[in-house]
Amino acid sequence: MNLALLKPGEKGKITKITASGPFKRRLMDMGMLVGELVLVKKVAPLGDPIQVAVKNYNLSLRKKEAAGILVEKID
Amino acid sequence: MSKYTANKNIITVAVAGNPNSGKSTLINAVAGTMLYVGNWPGVTVEKKEAEFEFQGRKIRLVDLPGTYSLSPYTQEEIIARDYLVHKQPDVILAVVDSTNLERNLYLAIQLMELDIPVVVALNVYDELEKKGYRINIRAMENMLGDKLIPTVATQKKGTDKLFKAIIEVADNPAAYRPKQLTYDEDIEDAVKYVEQYIKEKHPLLAEKYPLRWLALKLMEGDRQVMQETRLENEGFLAEGAVNHLRKAHGDDIEAIMADARYAQVTGLAREVLKKPDILKIELTEKIDRVVLNRFLGIPLFLMAMWLVFKLTFDVSMPFVDWADAVITGPFTRWVEVILGFVRVPGWVVSLATDGIIAGVGFVLIFVPVIFAMMFFITFLEGSGYMARAAFVMDRAMHSMGLHGKSFIPMLLGFGCNVPAIYATRTLENPRDKALTALLIPLMSCGARLPVYVLFVGALFPTHSGTVLWSLYMMGILLAVLIGIVFKHTLFRGEAPMFIMELPPYRLPSMRSLTIHTWEKVKHFIVKAGTYILAVSVLVWFLLNMPWGVKHKRDSLLGQAGQMVAPVLAPLGFGNWEAASALITGIIAKEIIIGTMAEIYIEEKKDKEMRTTPTFTEDLKKIGISFAAAVEDSVTNVFSTLKIASISTDNQAESRGLISVIQDTYTPLSAYAFMSFVLLYMPCMVVAIAMKHEFGTWKWFWIAFAYEIILAWTVAFVIYQGGSLLGLGG
């Protein structure tokens, strides 16, 4: 399961970051860390990118980028 | 070390912080008009500096680019940390958005690793209080060893205290050495190991860099630091304690460090931040529900854009017309009178009025547009809506290799390409920015419209709307096409990441808006002004050389036109008149008509009789017309569905032109000509804006090269294809 597959309103816990290089570092700098809770809030009107809440703020990223974040869905 | 000596003459303060932390608002609030805006050497990232006195002490502020971290991956981050590491400011002012403590402190603790005293501004403190949060500042100061001052930059609250604290810290640096937060034991062991190694083997590096910071960066495998220190091949990072760390946690020390830093910040926030019992639904949340709604998102965005476009051009156009009228009217007349009085030769008068004043006037008529546009763009950016616009449009723009934020500069391009180029400033990534700027000239600007209007009026009187529409669409479609081509050629490689914060909505302060806007306008007048003036004078010479030339055909311009004409023959307009007009069109495309009028209408209505008004009458008129411009500007805003555009004045002149054009062009060659005008090159002012914005002529030359080839090809296909299909008649 990765972050891009979660639907709006669904929550996940990050299990692994498979992205690499600058992408990975940027994600981590923005607070996307293993163990962190992420809530998918919205999908853009054209289907991409998505808006997520992490560390109490809003972040948007393309689905392709979100796919590099593995999550475990939480109910 | 020297930085721990007290009482410096001038205190250098580097201002660091996350984007959207209110950093620039804070700087505008304290330094305001003293700000000097330039670029960081070699890059397009803006650098702001200011020197001012505060309570008898001289302070030099250096604004670092907004960053989330000090990693070596973005231009902004590299600039910020290079400055901090190598220039060693006396104090770092870390501007923190108190409502987003964790992510902001993540940067702050990285700043503290640099062993420079840090003063933290807990900005947007009013919002935090309004939300019912509390921060135990004393406890936080104890944990960090920094001074913390709550501020509200938009209201200039807390800034005096902040600078008092900065002076206090700068005078007693030893007492305010930032506490080094300790990581887990195995990390600390590794740090010690690396520090020891550097001290022994590379004492010079230990002098040059903050030691702990260097050790941490080397452990993270920071590419840039590795290269700078040339320690890449020494292998010590695979030994001893570092090796242990690697084995225990896998290879990725960078991730471990990010984790550890966030863990510290989270722990700290948990201790000092008291959350309210009931969390209110925030305003931002409510606005986003509407603005980012699946169905409403795009219509609302388009409406917002229409409003920005309308406001920009409606508000500015009356002032453009006013400035134009004043300069070509009374001002030119005064200069003529004065020059006549001192009895200079006629050509000097002509050079002064047709060359220099026309050039200056040309610079000035851009000022209202740039002012209005920068104002609204800064507002969009500062309010937080720009990020939403990017979010809504990214999917569409991404298919052309662009970023969601590219949409706005492109749209503004339909009004005028010049402010559009400046609007690319909102794009952080140099690649996105360059590609957007390259495509902007394909957006048919207001200056091209008079040319279309004339030709369409002359040759397509019954289908004027459709023909006009088709030209605009041609520009858009070609932009999509060229965008895709560039994406796979010039800009090959992975698209830059989109990962972007959606900041809370905030009302930008008027002071910040006006300062920012004025900076841009000032820059334009000074920098672009010089070039534009030079080119106008050059064109004047082309038109009037050799001395005493009687017929335009024999002027340098006419000769150049005759040389170029054969190249244009396959496009259907291979005459020197068209070629000469196109050459002068490099200044601005609406000048094409002016040149044609001058060439075709030989007997220039010799100085129409006019009663010369007196100086006071002129002044009065200028005042009255300015008042009228203000009125027009206001009524324009409220009159819906009307967008002002640069009007084709001088009806009589164009009527004469229309009949000449009907004689010279067929509908087919006219269409080819209009397409050519749409595409053939960015005008000179756009070129200068590009140079100005990117610090190099490179992008202009690329735009120039592809556009001229594109224009020729398109016009060729239209004319030859049309002729084959029998549309030539």
What SS3 string covers B133-148?
Answer: CEECHHHHHHHHCCEE
Residues of A in contact with B501 (CB under 8 A): 30, 57-60
pLDDT at B128 over 70: yes
**Best CA proximity match to B683, nearest among B366, B467, B466, B385:** B366
Output the pLDDT for position B611. 56
Question: Cα(B420)–Cα(B432) distance, rounded to whole angstroms?
Answer: 14
**Predicted pLDDT of residue B648:** 42
pLDDT at residue B639 in the model: 63
A46/B499 CB distance under 8 A: no
A-to-B residue pairs, Cβ atoms closer than 8 angstroms: 114
Q: Which of B479, B310, B285, B511 minimizes the C-alpha distance to B397?
A: B479
**pLDDT in the model for residue A68:** 93
* Cβ atoms of residues B414 and B443 within 8 Å: yes
Mean pLDDT value across residues B247-256: 78
Where are the strands (E) in B113-179, listed by range? 118-123, 134-135, 147-150
Structural contact between residues B119 and B92, judged by C-beta atoms closer than 8 angstroms: yes
* Nearest partner of B428 among A26, A47, A21, judged by Cα: A26
Mutation target to probe the A interface, by most A beta carbons within 10 A, among B101, B268, B281, B497 is B497
Average pLDDT over residues B152-181: 92
Give Cα separations from B475 to B301, B447, B479, B708, B713 (angstroms): 22, 14, 6, 14, 14
Answer yes or no: are the C-beta atoms of B74 and B428 closer than 8 Å. Answer: yes
3-state SS track over B43-68: CCCEEEEEEEEECCEEEEEEECCCCC
* End-of-domain residue from the set B176, B204, B228: B176
Please state, rounded to an integer, the average pLDDT across all residues of chain B: 85
* Residue in this structure with the two tokens 């002509």, named with its chain if needed: B350
Domain hosting residue B87, numbered range:
2-176
Q: What is the mean pLDDT of residues A52-70?
A: 93
Lowest mean pLDDT among B249-263, B379-393, B678-692: B249-263
Domain final position from B274, B307, B330: B274
Q: How many domains does chain A have?
A: 1
| Confidence label for B677 from pLDDT (cuts 50, 70 and 90) | very high
Where residue B632 falls among pLDDT bands split at 50, 70, 90?
confident
Q: Which residue of B has its CA nearest to A66?
A: B499
Q: Are residue B307 and residue B336 in the same domain, yes or no? A: yes
Q: B646 pLDDT band (50/70/90 cuts)?
A: very low
Task: Provide ipTM, 2 decimals.
Answer: 0.96
**Separation CA B291–CA B293 (nearest Å):** 6
Query: Could you give the number of structural domains in chain B?
Result: 3
CA distance B482 to B425: 21
pLDDT-based confidence at B606, cuts 50/70/90? very low
Burial group, residue B435, by CB count within 10 angstroms (0-12, 13-18, 19+): buried
B210 shares its domain with B353? no
Instruction: Indicate the pLDDT class of residue B644, thresholds 50, 70 and 90.
Output: very low
Residues B213, B137 within the same domain? no
* B281 belongs to a structural domain: no
Environment class of B591 (CB within 10 Å of its CB; exposed 0-12, middle 13-18, buried 19+): buried
Tokens of B179: 């506490």
Residue type, B342: V
* Bridge partners of residue B60, in order along the sequence: B12, B51
Both B142 and B205 in a single domain?
no
In a domain, B289, yes or no: no
Q: Where does the pLDDT of residue B643 fall: very low under 50, low under 70, confident under 90, or very high at 90 and above?
A: very low
Let me know whether B213 and B162 are in one domain. no
Read off the tokens for B626: 């300015």
At A7, which CATH number?
Answer: 2.30.30.90
Decide if A30 and B501 are in contact by the 8 Å CB cutoff: yes
Whether A9 has its CB under 8 Å from any CB of chain B: the answer is no
Does pLDDT of B650 surpass 70?
A: no
Same domain? B383 vs B523: yes
Could you report how far apart the first and last alpha carbons of chain B are, in Å? 85
Q: Is residue B283 part of a domain?
A: no
Q: Which domain holds residue A54?
A: 3-74
Max mean pLDDT range (B545-549, B554-558, B595-599, B672-676) = B672-676
Whether pLDDT at B610 is above 80: no
Per residue in B22-57, pLDDT (tens digit) is 898 899 888 877 888 777 776 767 888 999 999 999
Is the distance from CB of B121 to CB of B92 less than 8 angstroms? no
**pLDDT of B115 strictly over 80:** yes
Q: Which residues pair with B63 in a beta bridge?
A: B15, B48
Q: Do both B107 and B128 map to the same domain?
A: yes
Mean pLDDT of B616-629: 82
Residues 10-39 of chain A whose Cβ lies under 8 A from any Cβ of chain B? 17, 22-31, 33-34
**Which of the pair, B643 or B431, is modelled with greater confidence?**
B431
Contact B677, B718 (CB under 8 A): no
- Give the integer Cα–Cα distance in Å for B353 and B338: 12
Distance of residue B30 Cα from the nearest chain A Cα, in angstroms: 28
Question: B419 and B353, same structural domain?
Answer: yes
Does the pLDDT of residue B618 top 90, yes or no? no
Of B152-156, B252-256, B696-700, give the lowest mean pLDDT range.
Answer: B252-256
Q: Are residues B148 and B265 in the same domain?
A: no
Please tell me which of the candidates A25, A34, A62 has its beta carbon nearest to residue B71: A25
- A57 and B288: CB-CB below 8 Å? no
CA diameter of chain A: 31
Looking at the domain assignment, is residue B290 inside a domain?
A: no
- Measured between beta carbons, the chain A residues lying within 8 angstroms of B295 are 45
Q: 10 Å Cβ neighbour count for B4?
A: 13
pLDDT beyond 60 at B609: no
What are the CA-CA distances from residue B491 to residues B431, B434, B452, B681, B708 (Å)? 7, 9, 33, 21, 20
- Which of B71, B293, B298 is closest, CB to CB, to A29? B71
User: Can you give the length of chain A in residues?
Assistant: 75
- Domain C-terminal end among B176, B206, B238: B176
Residues B539, B391 share a domain: yes
Asked whether the beta carbons of B379 and B513 are under 8 A apart, the reply is yes
Residue B607 is given by DSSP the state: T
B19 φ, ψ to 5°?
Answer: -60, 150
B282 within domain boundaries: no
B503 chain-A contacts, CB cut-off 8 A: 57-58
Among chain A residues, CA nearest to B389: A44
Q: B254 at the A interface (CB within 8 A)?
A: yes
Looking at residue B44, its pLDDT comes to 67
Contact list, A67 vs chain B (CB under 8 Å): none
Overall average pLDDT of the B187-197 stretch = 89
Whether B162 and B203 share a structural domain: no
| Encoded tokens for B416 | 């005028």
- Least CB-CB distance to B254: which of A25, A34, A47? A25
The verdict on residue B508 lying in a domain is yes
Residue from A18, A24, A33, A46 whose CB has the most chain B CBs within 10 Å, to mutate:
A46
B91 within 8 A of B169, measured Cβ to Cβ = yes
Residue B330 is given by DSSP the state: I
Looking at the structure, tell me whether residues B152 and B220 fall in a common domain.
no
